[in-house]
């Protein structure tokens, strides 16, 4: 339940302990918008009429570049030395992003390959920050196309999941900085409770495929997000394990 204390305070009553501050501060967003804006003519937002309570407004937008400028009437006020302009650039190549931070072309980069953390921090010029999945990291998950054979059989989906090399992924792709998720929701949001999870078990995966009548050499495809080097390396590890049980997975 929620109780309004005053004009600027709400008390949340929870049935059990939850990490509420992390949830409400997550970049996945709990956005506040004026409901009356829904009555504006279609296309109003695209004309540069921003709605928000943040310190910056969108000065310019291009598909790969966004420039934010200081909103002088920001409710939180401004202090001397704070940035008046912030530029976001989308750079898909992780090596290029790393070179940008090394050369000083960029002040901050995101998603540095995990194996490069130590070497970059050793330069003394860069501070590397890691965070949990609720505020700055991510939860890695896979989506199956359920209407496409052989993935329309739950046993096949289970077999593919049991073939995922959890330990190898933790050790190599994430350099020991990750943990196995208990659900699709990050553990920092909600505790996994008694939800069942998968573990690496090729024998079980093989038996499930045999029960489903899947033939040796069956082909499936895995589509990845562009520029995600960690996920690409993970997919190749997974691909190798699936090959051991007769599944030919193409990674694109």
Question: pTM for the full model?
Answer: 0.58
Residue 223's Cβ-side half-sphere holds a number of Cα atoms within 13 Å equal to 3
10 Å Cβ neighbour count for 98?
19
Strand bridging mode 85-89 / 65-70 = antiparallel
Q: What is the pLDDT of residues 48-96, one digit of tens each?
A: 666 678 899 989 999 899 999 999 999 999 999 999 999 999 998 888 9
Half-sphere exposure of 19 (CA within 13 A, CB side): 15
pLDDT of residue 134: 45
| d(C-alpha 117, C-alpha 175), whole Å | 9
Pairing of strands 9-12, 2-6: antiparallel
Dihedral in degrees, nearest 10, Cα atoms 241, 243, 245, 250: 100
> Which superfamily does CATH assign the domain made up of 154-251 to?
Dipeptide-binding Protein; Domain 3 (3.10.105.10)
All residue ranges of the chain with pLDDT < 70 are: 23, 25-33, 38, 41, 44-51, 131-140, 173-177, 182-195, 227
């Amino acid at each position: 339940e929620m109780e309004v204390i005053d004009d600027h305070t709400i008390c949340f009553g929870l049935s059990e302990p939850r990490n509420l501050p992390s949830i409400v501060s997550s970049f996945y967003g709990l956005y506040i918008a004026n409901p009356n804006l829904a009555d504006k003519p279609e296309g109003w937002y695209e004309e540069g009429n921003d709605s928000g309570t943040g310190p910056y407004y969108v000065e310019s937008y291009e598909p790969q570049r966004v420039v934010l400028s200081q909103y002088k009437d920001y409710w939180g006020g401004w202090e001397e030395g704070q940035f008046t302009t912030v530029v976001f650039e989308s750079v898909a190549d992780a090596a290029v992003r790393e070179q940008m931070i090394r050369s000083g072309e960029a002040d901050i980069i995101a998603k540095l390959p995990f194996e490069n953390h130590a070497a970059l921090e050793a330069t003394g010029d860069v501070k590397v920050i890691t965070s949990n999945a609720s505020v700055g990291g991510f939860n890695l998950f896979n989506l199956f196309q359920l209407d496409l054979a052989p993935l329309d059989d739950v046993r096949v989906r289970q077999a593919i999941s049991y073939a995922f090399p959890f330990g190898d992924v933790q050790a190599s792709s994430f350099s020991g900085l990750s943990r196995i998720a208990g659900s699709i929701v990050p553990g920092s949001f909600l505790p996994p409770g008694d939800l069942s999870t998968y573990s690496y078990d090729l024998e079980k995966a093989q038996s499930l495929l045999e029960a489903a009548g899947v033939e040796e050499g069956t082909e499936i495809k895995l589509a990845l997000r562009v520029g995600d080097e960690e996920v690409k390396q993970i997919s190749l590890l997974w691909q190798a394990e699936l090959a051991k049980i007769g599944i030919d997975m193409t990674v694109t």
